[in-house]
């Protein structure tokens, strides 16, 4: 009897435990099912949100594309209108200029009528220049301007620039100086027409705002295998430009305060020049100080004409001899005519002995020296100035000395100063 009761109790306990375990399992399964349901709901909600966001993004892209197409259409319409109207205006204007020039040669004209004819001619030429600027800007904005490289003679190129400006500059009581590195080959390959247009714009700007002193056109370069990087500078002792106004220089139809006061020009010359230089792979830089003057500089890559090259082309990069006074015959001269802007813009030049310079340079990191040399070799004025500004205050005399060299475009001197402090392989970069 006792074993039978015990067995029954055990069986009852086991059955009770089984039922309890089963309830636990069912509870966990329900919890798991609820979790799965929540996850499914979250997934569904997320998919809905993703779909909504995707639809919004697609709609935004459609609207952006429509806005872009509308802007491009408006820009094309503007460019087409300007180009069409400019051509329509230029045709009769050329006729007016032609007849006014013929009338000016009429010996029977009275003096007062002759002055009126000259006024018509000058006004017409100004108007024609404006039309040509608009056409150039339209071509640049529509990407229709391309670089047309062809052989040209540097001597003839400079003579043309000189003929265009010397008389006008000297009539204003100014001195016109042209300084060219005598090591630049005469026969080159590049887009001489665009180079001429840039220089004409920069020199015209200098002439407009310079009333005393001089205007200097300076040309140096960096020879690198068969490529030659020409570095142009146009320096004047004119009114100068305030730092707060510099950002306006390359914006079309926008003029600085001095430009507005001059009541001439359209604000197109510098933007066109900047875009032309960029088209040729360069970048215009400007340094100016009110009451002291302005320096515009840019570099472009040209080729040495192989048909006119004699001797071996240098196998490694090097800065050409600094610019000297240019004579029409390209004869070398040992006297260089310097303008005074660099010294006027700064305090007295710091003079250090070669030994003092070398000793000061040895205190600077070798990687910094290497970067400085490479920047000088590449005629990268911004990079050179940036590196020099990082020189610690304890070497302020060295910093001032090197800054004077950089501001007067004496990159070769900087290269030669740094070269002895670098390993042989790092002295020049191809």
pLDDT band at 294 (very low <50, low <70, confident <90, very high): very high
Sequential DSSP letters for 261-284 = HHT---S-HHHHHHHHHHHTT---
Q: Give the mean pLDDT of the chain.
A: 76
What does the alpha-carbon distance between residue 78 and residue 72 come to, in Å, rounded to a whole number? 10
Q: Can you give the pTM of this predicted structure? A: 0.53
- Whose CA is closest to 201, among 126, 299, 133? 133
pLDDT of residue 18: 56
| Contact predicate 114/229, CB 8 Å | no
pLDDT of residue 171: 84
Query: Quick one: DSSP state of residue 1?
Result: -
| Distance (Å) of CA 348 to CA 27, 203, 231, 408, 413 | 92, 28, 26, 14, 19
Q: Which residue has the higher pLDDT, 16 or 361?
A: 361
What does the alpha-carbon distance between residue 204 and residue 129 come to, in Å, rounded to a whole number? 12
pLDDT of residue 332: 33
Give the chain's count of helices (H) and strands (E): 12, 9
pLDDT of residue 291: 87
The angle, 0 to 180 degrees and rounded to 10, between the axes of the packed helices 366-377 and 411-418 is 150
Give the tokens for residue 5. Answer: 């009761």
| Contact predicate 303/190, CB 8 Å | yes
- 326 Rama class: left (phi>0) / alpha (psi -120 to 50) / beta: beta
Cα 365 to its chain centre, rounded Å, is 29
Give the tokens for residue 193. Answer: 């027409």
Give the tokens for residue 148. Answer: 């047309």
Query: Residue 428 above 90 pLDDT?
Result: no
Average pLDDT (189-216) is 90
Give the tokens for residue 75. Answer: 């820009």
Query: Quick one: DSSP state of residue 115?
Result: H
| Distance (Å) of CA 56 to CA 52, 59, 61, 69 | 6, 5, 9, 20
pLDDT band at 356 (very low <50, low <70, confident <90, very high): confident
Angle at 118 between CA 203 and CA 114, to 5 degrees: 150
84-88, 111-115, 326-330, 342-346: which is most confident: 111-115
Query: Residue 259 above 70 pLDDT?
Result: no
Query: Residue 426 above 70 pLDDT?
Result: no
pLDDT of residue 253: 67
Where are the strands (E) in 154-201, listed by range?
Answer: 175-180, 187-190
Find all residues with CB under 8 Å of 253, minimum gap 6, and list them. 266, 267, 268
Query: Residue 368 above 60 pLDDT?
Result: yes
Average pLDDT (197-224) is 88
Q: Which residue has the higher pLDDT, 193 or 132?
A: 193
What does the alpha-carbon distance between residue 15 and residue 138 come to, in Å, rounded to a whole number? 95
CB neighbour burial string for 20-51, b if at least 16 within 10 angstroms, e if fewer = eeeeeeeeeeeeeeeeeeeeeeeeeeeeeeee
Query: Residue 322 above 60 pLDDT?
Result: no
pLDDT of residue 128: 72
Give the tokens for residue 129. Answer: 């220049």
Query: Residue 333 above 50 pLDDT?
Result: no
Type and span of the H or E element at 311: none
Which 3 state secondary structure label does DSSP give 242?
coil
Sequential DSSP letters for 188-220 = EEE-HHHHHHHHHHHHHHHHHH--SSEEEEEEE
Q: What is the pLDDT of residues 12-70, one digit of tens each?
A: 555 566 566 667 777 888 888 888 888 888 888 898 999 889 888 888 888 888 888 88
pLDDT of residue 345: 39
pLDDT of residue 233: 92
pLDDT of residue 422: 84
Query: Residue 232 above 90 pLDDT?
Result: yes
Query: Residue 411 above 90 pLDDT?
Result: no
Which 3 state secondary structure label does DSSP give 325?
strand
CB atoms within 10 A of CB 288: 22
pLDDT of residue 298: 92
pLDDT of residue 21: 65
Angle at 244 between CA 380 and CA 237, to 5 degrees: 65
Q: Which residue has the higher pLDDT, 217 or 139?
A: 217
pLDDT of residue 83: 65
pLDDT of residue 296: 93
109-123, 257-271, 331-345: which is most confident: 109-123
pLDDT band at 215 (very low <50, low <70, confident <90, very high): very high
The full set of domains in the chain, from first to last, is 1-145 (1.10.287.130), 150-339 (3.30.565.10), 346-426 (no CATH)
Query: Residue 312 above 50 pLDDT?
Result: no
Average pLDDT (145-156) is 86
């Amino acid at each position: 009897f006792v074993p039978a009761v015990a067995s029954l109790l055990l069986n009852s306990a086991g059955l009770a435990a089984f039922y309890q375990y089963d309830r636990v399992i069912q509870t966990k399964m329900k919890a798991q099912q609820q979790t799965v349901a929540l996850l499914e709901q979250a997934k569904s909600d997320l998919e809905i949100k993703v779909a909504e966001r995707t639809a919004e993004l697609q709609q935004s892209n459609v609207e952006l594309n429509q806005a872009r197409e509308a802007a491009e259409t408006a820009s094309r319409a503007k460019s087409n209108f300007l180009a069409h109207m400019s051509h329509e205006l230029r045709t009769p204007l050329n006729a007016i200029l032609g007849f006014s020039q013929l009338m000016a040669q009429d010996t029977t004209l009275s003096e007062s009528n002759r002055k009126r004819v000259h006024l018509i001619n000058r006004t017409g030429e100004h108007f024609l220049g404006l039309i040509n600027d608009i056409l150039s800007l339209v071509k640049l904005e529509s990407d229709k301007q391309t670089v047309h490289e062809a052989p040209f003679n540097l001597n003839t190129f400079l003579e043309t620039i000189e003929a265009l400006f010397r008389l006008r500059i000297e009539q204003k009581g100014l001195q016109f100086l042209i300084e060219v590195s005598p090591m630049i080959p005469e026969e080159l390959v590049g887009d001489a027409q665009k180079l001429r247009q840039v220089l004409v714009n920069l020199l015209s700007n200098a002439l407009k705002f310079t009333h005393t002193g001089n205007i200097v056109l300076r040309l140096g370069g960096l020879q690198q295998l068969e490529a030659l990087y020409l570095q142009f500078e146009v320096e004047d002792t004119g009114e100068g430009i305030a730092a707060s106004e510099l950002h306006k220089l390359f914006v079309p139809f926008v003029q600085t305060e001095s430009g507005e006061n001059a009541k001439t020009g359209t604000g197109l010359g510098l933007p066109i020049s900047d875009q032309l230089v960029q088209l040729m792979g360069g970048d215009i830089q400007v340094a100016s100080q009110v009451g002291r003057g302005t320096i515009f500089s840019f570099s472009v890559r040209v080729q040495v004409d192989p048909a006119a090259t004699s001797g071996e082309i240098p196998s490694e990069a090097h800065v050409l001899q600094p610019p000297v006074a240019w004579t029409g015959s390209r004869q070398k001269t040992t006297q260089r005519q310097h303008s005074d802007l660099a010294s006027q813009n700064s305090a007295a030049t710091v003079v250090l002995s070669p030994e003092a310079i070398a000793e000061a340079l040895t205190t600077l990191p070798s990687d910094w020296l290497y970067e400085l040399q490479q920047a000088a070799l590449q005629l990268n004025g911004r990079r050179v100035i940036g590196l020099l500004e990082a020189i610690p205050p304890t070497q302020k005399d060295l910093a001032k000395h090197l800054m004077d060299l950089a501001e007067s475009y004496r990159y070769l001197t900087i290269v030669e100063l740094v070269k002895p402090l670098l390993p042989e392989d790092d002295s020049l970069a191809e």
